[in-house]
Every structure is written in C-alpha cells, then in structure tokens.
Structure 1
Amino acid sequence: MLHFLRKLRQRLLTENRFGKYLLYAIGEILLVVIGILIALQVNIQQEEFKEKKVTEQLLKGIQADLKLEVERIDFLTGYYTQITNGIQQILLNHQGKATQSNKELGQYFLNTFEFRKFSKIDVNYQTLYSSGILQGIKDKKLSEEIITYYSRQFLEWSLEIYQQKAGAFDFNNVPDFQPLDKLQTGANYTSIPEFRLTFEDTYKTDFTEFIHEPEVLNFLADLLHQSELVFSNLKTYRESNLALSNRIQDYLDPR
C-alpha cells in the first residue's frame, strides 16, 4: 500500500499535475490524522478499561472491608449487651428484685471495666480516594456516600467516652473493695515478676454490700446511660454499612 502511494506521488510530480498532487497530499495528511485519532481513541478506551477494572477491584475491596466491619459491630453489640445486662442485674439486686451470688455480682461489676474499641478498615478507601479514582466514579452520589461513611466517627467517640468513664472510677473512694479482686478475673495476672499470687474461687469483696455504695451506683448508672448511646451508634453504623455495601453492588452490577 505504501509502495503504491509513493509511486502515485512520484508520477503526479513528474507529470506536473500539481492540482491533483495537492489533493493527494491533503488526502494523505487526512489519512495520517485519522490514523492518529483512531490510535488515540483506542488508547483512551484501553486506559478507561484499565481504570474501570481498578475501580471495580477497589470497590469490591471496600465491600470486603465493610463485611469485616459488620462482624466487628455484631461482636461489639453482643459484648456490650452482656455488660449492660450485668449492670441491670446489679441494679435489680440493689432494688431487691433479683438475687445473685457474691461471685456473680463481682463478675458483673468487674466486667464493666473491660471495653472494646472500633475502627474502620479503610485501606481500600484510602487507595481509592488518594488515587483520584473516587472522584472519577460516574455515580457522584455513590462517591459522596462513600466519603460520608468513612468520615463519620461518632461510634468511635462514644466508645472512647465509655472507656473514659470506666477508667475514671476510683476504687480508693470505696474502701470495701479488696484490690486483689480486680486481678482475680484475668489469668494473665496469676504470675507477676518476683511475686506469686494465689486466688481463691470466691471474691474477697462483699459485693452484696459494695454495690449499695453511692459511688458505685452512680458509676453504674452513668455507664448504663453511655451504653445507650453506644448501642444507638452501633445500630446506625450497621445500617449505613449495609446500605453502602448494597449501593456499591448496584453500581457494579447495574440492572
């Protein structure tokens, strides 16, 4: 093809047919331009295809992260439910509406100092955001929903407040409490360097009397109030988590 065009150009020049040669030259330029445009279009389509694949992989990664977060949320819901149920049992015992053994009351009370945190798994989100791909998603509402979800921190804050309240209890203000009882609940405390602690099966503290102390009751009531906020945030996070996962699925598999 190139050989034929070269011969045609030479013949037009030798025959002094400049008008036709000019048309030929313009046509050749147009062919070159069209070829370049086609090549550019193919390259653009290839780049868009690659970016689409990367976007899909990251969105699927976010879905996997959201699934792990739901599992954590469900764990925290069960975990704090157990703690709040224990607090309610203590308060019912104080009111004379329930009766538990000293060991049960002690376990309920000491459980309130065990807390768990929550943090989002955002590696895929950070990659999607920092690469600029998130801003390039055609569904702008989905982009906004993803950013909004990962910007929320109210569950994390409510758990931190619970931790602060639990850690603020001063055992020194309640002399009826035996300090070694706090160590008794964890197996890790049975051996301390240069000391050996041997614990009995029962608590040394008389929790049937201990829970009647005003400081204890105020502490438990305050934790119970904070737990309501924790549960509300856990519920909201779970709902928004599942909603975002479904929105991503709809984007990946449009109907």
Structure 2
Amino acid sequence: MIKFFRKTRLKLLSKNKISKYLAYAIGEISLVVLGILIALQINNWNQNIQLRKAELKTLKSLRESIKINLAELDLILKAQIHRNRSLQEVLFYDVSELPLVHLDSLITTNVKNHTFDPSTGIYNSIINSGKIEIITNDSLKNRISKLYDRVADYQESEDEITEYTKKHLEVNFINNLSISPKVLAKLRVRTEEEKVTDKALYIENFNSQALKNMYILLLYKMSEVITKGESLESEYRGLITALENEIKSKE
C-alpha cells in the first residue's frame, strides 16, 4: 500500500501535476491522521472497558465487605441494647424482688463491654490504592470516602464506655461484691448461707447512691453509642442498596 502511494506521487510529479500532487499528499496525510485517531479511539475504548470492569469488581467487593460489617454491627448493637436495659433494671426496679440468679446476670451484663471490629481490608485497599477514583458515581464515592470517619466516631464512643466501665464498675464490683467466682461461672451451686449473704450484698450495692450515679452516667454514654450505632447501621444499609443499584446499572 505504501509503495502504491509512493508510485502515485512520483507519477504526478513526473507529469508536473503539482496541484494534484498536493491534493493527493494532503489526502494521504489525512488518511494517516484518521488511522491514528481511530487507533487512539479503539485504545481509549478498550481502556474504558477495563476501567468499567475494575469499577464493577470494586463495587461488588465493597458491597460484600459492608454486608459482613453490617451483620457484625447488628450483633453488637443488640448486645449494647441488652446491656442498656440491664442498667435500667438496677436504676428503676426494686432489685430486692429479683431472683438471685437474675442479680448474678445483671452484674455480668452490666460490666461486659462490646466493641465493633469491622473488616477493613478491602476498604483500606481500595482507598490506599486510589481505586476509589474509578467509581464514576460521585455521590456514592463521597459516601464511601466518609464511611471510615463514621466508623471511627462510633468506635471512639465505644472506647469511652469500655474505659469508664473498667475504671468504675469493675472496681466497684471487685471492692464491694465478694461473690464466689465459681458460683458466677456456674461451676457450683450456692450454699444456703451464700444465698442469703450474696443477695444482701447485691441489694446493698445496687441501692447505693454511688453505684446509681455511675449507672446514670453510663446510661447516658450508652444512649450516645446506641444512637451512633443505629445511624451507622442505617448508613451501611443505605450503602448496600446504593451499591446494588450501581452494580445493576453497569452489568
């Protein structure tokens, strides 16, 4: 083909057909430019296909990661709510009317901390590698980018409760309740004497103003962490829906 073009140009020059030669040369150049443009277009098209495949894979990975974290958070929130109700029992009910075994459960439930430990491997990889930039939906991309801050804010509230519990409730338990660990662990049953002394200890401790003040403050902190947890849970669910809609639009 190149030899054909060259021969044609030489033939026109030999016949002094300069105008036709120039027109022919311009046409030849135009064909070359057009070929280059088509090649670039094909290359861009192929790159876009690969980017969209990568975007789809990223969206699916995020969706599965968030689903796992949502299930984990749901369990943690249920435990937090259960603990909150247990604290309210001590504050708002007559503990002397509660069975001894239930008083045992109140102690263990009230001092047990629950922390959310989400899986962040996929999320961190997408953020740190810059793959988040291939997500074309800007609104969705912004929500994903801000997700870590929301999780961190929730975890800070959890950490505050954990620290407060260890510093106050656990210390109070150690100092004021000499309940047999084997009894609490259900490794043996109480003696009749222990039933009397243990219940008296519980009633005295639960009715003390010092412990009630601790529980009131802890309830406030628990209310905050539950509110943040429910908000985070709602965001997780919303993100899953948004990701599924985006995936459907690209498949």
Under a length normalisation based on structure 1, what TM-score does the superposition of the two structures give? 0.80
Say if 2:59 and 2:243, in contact at 8 Å, map to a contact too.
yes
SS of equivalent residue, structure 2 residue 178: coil
- Once the two structures are superposed, what CA deviation does each residue of 1:32-53 show, in whole Å capped at 9, x if it has no partner? 1111111111111111111111
Structure 1 residue aligned with 2:213:
218
Structure 2 residue 38 is the aligned partner of structure 1 residue 50: no
Identity of aligned residues (%): 22
Q: Distance in 1 between matches of 2:241 and 2:173?
A: 51
- How far apart are 1:131 and its partner, in Å? 3.7
- How far apart are 1:92 and its partner, in Å? 4.2
Structure 2 residue aligned with 1:141:
139
- How far apart are 1:118 and its partner, in Å? 1.6
Structure 1 residue aligned with 2:177:
177
Structure 1 residue aligned with 2:158:
159
- Once the two structures are superposed, what CA deviation does each residue of 1:96-149 show, in whole Å capped at 9, x if it has no partner? 6xx222232122112222212124433333333334443454332222222222
Q: Distance in 2 between matches of 1:173 and 1:238?
A: 33
User: Does 111-120 or 27-36 show the bigger shift?
Assistant: 111-120
Q: Distance in 1 between matches of 2:62 and 2:83?
A: 31
Provide the aligned C-alpha RMSD in A: 2.9
Q: Which amino acid aligns with 1:88?
A: Q
Structure 2 residue aligned with 1:200:
188
Which residues of 2 match residues 67-82 of structure 1 at below 5 A?
67-82=67-82
- How far apart are 1:185 and its partner, in Å? 4.8
Q: Distance in 2 between matches of 1:13 and 1:94?
A: 113
Q: Which amino acid aligns with 1:149?
A: L
Q: Which amino acid aligns with 2:12?
A: L
Under a length normalisation based on structure 2, what TM-score does the superposition of the two structures give? 0.81
Say if 2:63 and 2:243, in contact at 8 Å, map to a contact too.
yes
SS of equivalent residue, structure 1 residue 112: helix
Q: Distance in 1 between matches of 2:179 and 2:95?
A: 26
* Change over 3 Å in CA distance of 1:138–1:175 after alignment to 2: closer
User: Does 205-214 or 46-55 show the bigger shift?
Assistant: 205-214
Say if 2:76 and 2:114, in contact at 8 Å, map to a contact too.
yes
Structure 2 residue 90 is the aligned partner of structure 1 residue 105: no
Q: Distance in 2 between matches of 1:87 and 1:118?
A: 20
Gaps of 5+ in 1: 188-198
Say if 1:211 and 1:217, in contact at 8 Å, map to a contact too.
yes
- How far apart are 1:8 and its partner, in Å? 2.1
* Change over 3 Å in CA distance of 1:21–1:185 after alignment to 2: farther
- Name the count of aligned residue pairs: 241
SS of equivalent residue, structure 1 residue 27: helix
Structure 1 residue aligned with 2:35:
35
Structure 2 residue aligned with 1:7:
7
Structure 2 residue 229 is the aligned partner of structure 1 residue 241: no
- How far apart are 1:13 and its partner, in Å? 3.8
Q: Distance in 1 between matches of 2:8 and 2:135?
A: 50
Q: Distance in 2 between matches of 1:56 and 1:124?
A: 14
Q: Distance in 1 between matches of 2:38 and 2:129?
A: 28
Q: Distance in 2 between matches of 1:16 and 1:146?
A: 69
